[in-house]
Amino acid sequence: MENEKLIANPTIVLREEFDDWAVLFDPDTGNAYGMNPVSVFVWKHLDGNHALEDIEKKLRAECKNVPDDAGVFIKEFIADLVAKGLAGHKFQNA
């Protein structure tokens, strides 16, 4: 599962704010979710080309002071997005 590419639900709207936080808004349900800058970074990489470990590697390469347990945070965050129907695993042809 961890090597599967991840993809954001295309109907969800990302609204970035001045302080690098952002709101994820689901126009169908009216639900809004606040995201911190790390979550925003992860969300932007749910493009069907990155798996969980690719995202962690990129985060470590591009950002300073990434905590040791960032991988755990990313894993939990993605699991939460999938559970809420905001993201999913990309369907791969055999």
User: By CB under 8 A, is residue 27 in contact with another protein?
Assistant: yes
**Which residue in 4, 28, 32, 57 binds another protein (CB under 8 A)?**
32
Determine the Cα–Cα distance for residues 73 and 41; give it in Å rounded to an integer.
12
**Which residue in 2, 4, 11, 15 binds another protein (CB under 8 A)?**
15
**Nearest distance from residue 18's CB to another protein, in Å?**
8
- Contact by Cβ (8 Å): 90, 5: yes
**Nearest distance from residue 29's CB to another protein, in Å?**
9
**Nearest distance from residue 32's CB to another protein, in Å?**
4
3-state SS track over 15-50: EECCCCCEEEECCCCCCEEEECHHHHHHHHCCEEEE
Interface region with another protein, contact rule CB under 8 A, candidates 13-21, 44-52, 64-72, 85-93 = 13-21
Determine the Cα–Cα distance for residues 91 and 7; give it in Å rounded to an integer.
9
